Structure 1
Amino acid sequence: MNNISLENKEIIQVVFFILLAFITMFLVLILFFYFSRKKVVLIEIEKKNLELKHQKELLHSVLITQEEERKRIAQDLHDDISSKLNVVSLNSHLLQTPNLNEDEQNNITNNIIELTQKALEESRRIAHDLLPPVLEKFGLHAGIEELVAEYNSTRSVKVSYENHIDFENYPVERHLHIFRILQELLNNSIRHGKATEISIHFTTFGQRKNFTYIDNGLGFDSSNNENSKGLGMKNIESRINFLGGDFNFYSRPNEGVKMEFNFD
């Protein structure tokens, strides 16, 4: 009888230790999954914070670009147009001077006409920089053709342009973003890269549109983050984000620049 009781106690102890082991393992698994999940959540939060920081940087670059554009326009209006109109106003008052002979009247009148014409040309230039008329009237394809022709007319750079996208069916409000991206790239290639040959190519892959830009300029090390944090690149990136696209940028010293981006 005592032997049976002893065996029962041993069985109970074994069962107890087995249950204790299972409970311990269960608690360990719970703690493991808890801390693993907590780590995953922290990584996701950090990732979201980095994305928000990046979006803030892009927004900041857009605001800076807009402010610089406003300052440039204000400067142009003051220096190129306002100053000319002031001289026109002065000459107009001179016409009221008594006893002017015919030659003096003609000289003042010609001066007024010449300054007025220059002021009109400057106002057209400023309006063209804000929104090229050909872009508004005839669409993106015609706007890029005109832009390419302007650069080729300088004879300092050869720009080739090929397009296989029907931009007539593309939302007009998005035309200006693509046009500004291209302007920024061309400006960087010529001003900083000293490029003499530039290739621009638009095509489609399924439902996505693709843009490829290549120049033979001086290039730079695009793997260096400091080189890709300029205001111009931030402005380009923010416009591509607006288009719902993504981009790849490659450059090496003395190997020019290559950029591709896809958009809806």
Structure 2
Amino acid sequence: MKATFETELYSAIFYIFFGFLLMSIVIIVFFYKSRKKIVKKELEKKDLEISHQKQLLHSILITQEEERKRIAQDLHDDISSKLNIVSLNSHLLKTKNISENEIEEITGNIIQLTKKALDSSRQIAHNLMPPVLEKFGLNEALEELTEEFGRLKSVQVFYNNKINFSDFSSEIQLNIFRVIQELLNNSIRHGKATEIKINFEKKGTTNICQYSDNGIGFDMNNQFNQKGLGMKNIESRLIFINGKFEINSAPNEGFHFLINF
């Protein structure tokens, strides 16, 4: 009887030990598979982030190339062509038996064309780096920008600012300026807006920009609308200044853009 009790005790210990061992194996396998799934998801997330970064970099490079082409075209069409005519007129002054009236007319043409070439060069320089931004800061540059768009007559632009932009670096100010510039272009060119509101304010430690227009809007479900070249350029600039943004729009309900930076 004693031998039977010991046998049963050993059997019970064996089954308990085997049960714990089996349970341990199940737990280890479960955690291994769970960890494997987590690692897989993390890798997929990283791949998506890398892919997204590549897309942003690609859009930046395309934007830079388009900007170079535009500048080259402006230099060729506006400045080079005018200077060529100035050069031709200058050679005419060497013509024999030229009358005083002709000299006066040619000189007037040269002065007029030179002035236009200077105006064009100033405009190109302004587009590259607005002088107001460099000399007086972002607030004054945005005031000038919104006034320029307001002079189009087809749109009213309301700009309000409660942030001291002088605390920001020149790089941050330039990127914010380009973002607002791109948004204004999109509102007028694509949104057909007649009214645009831009409001900067500070909430706690967060700087906020609320941008909205009354344009035709777009379908948020269409990824192409949110990931066009212009929006990618905006996103890349906001990433550079550690900014975040939210978009809200619908057909015939305007466009709303919130920036936290």
Gaps of 5+ in 2: none
TM-score (norm 1): 0.97
Task: Look up the equivalent residue of 1:211 and give its one-letter code.
Answer: C
Of 23, 39, 42 in structure 2, the residue corresponding to residue 41 of structure 1 is 39
Task: Tell me how far apart the structure 2 counterparts of residues 233 and 17 of structure 1 sit (CA, whole Å).
Answer: 65
Displacement after TM superposition at 1:14 (Å)? 1.8
Task: Tell me how far apart the structure 2 counterparts of residues 155 and 89 of structure 1 sit (CA, whole Å).
Answer: 38
Q: Corresponding residue for 1:97?
A: 95
Displacement after TM superposition at 1:6 (Å)? 2.6
Range moving further from structure 2, 9-18 or 249-258: 9-18
Of 168, 171, 194 in structure 2, the residue corresponding to residue 170 of structure 1 is 168
Q: Corresponding residue for 1:107?
A: 105
Q: Corresponding residue for 1:24?
A: 22
TM-score (norm 2): 0.98
- State the identity as a percent: 59
Q: Corresponding residue for 2:79?
A: 81
Task: Tell me how far apart the structure 1 counterparts of residues 205 and 76 of structure 2 sit (CA, whole Å).
Answer: 47
Match of 1:259, SS? strand
Would you say 1:120 and 2:141 are equivalent positions? no
Task: Tell me how far apart the structure 2 counterparts of residues 130 and 246 of structure 1 sit (CA, whole Å).
Answer: 25
Gaps of 5+ in 1: none
Displacement after TM superposition at 1:119 (Å)? 0.5
Which of structure 1's runs of 4+ aligned residues deviate more than 2 A? none
The number of residue pairs the alignment matches comes to 261
**Per-residue Cα deviation, 1:26-66 (whole angstroms, up to 9, x for no partner):** 11101111111111111111111111111111111111101
Q: Corresponding residue for 1:145?
A: 143
**Per-residue Cα deviation, 1:58-113 (whole angstroms, up to 9, x for no partner):** 11111110110001001111111111111111111111111101111111111111
**Per-residue Cα deviation, 1:132-177 (whole angstroms, up to 9, x for no partner):** 1111100000001111111112221110010000111221221111
Task: Tell me how far apart the structure 2 counterparts of residues 55 and 240 of structure 1 sit (CA, whole Å).
Answer: 13
User: Aligned Cα RMSD in Å?
Assistant: 0.9
Q: Corresponding residue for 1:219?
A: 217
Task: Tell me how far apart the structure 2 counterparts of residues 161 and 226 of structure 1 sit (CA, whole Å).
Answer: 29
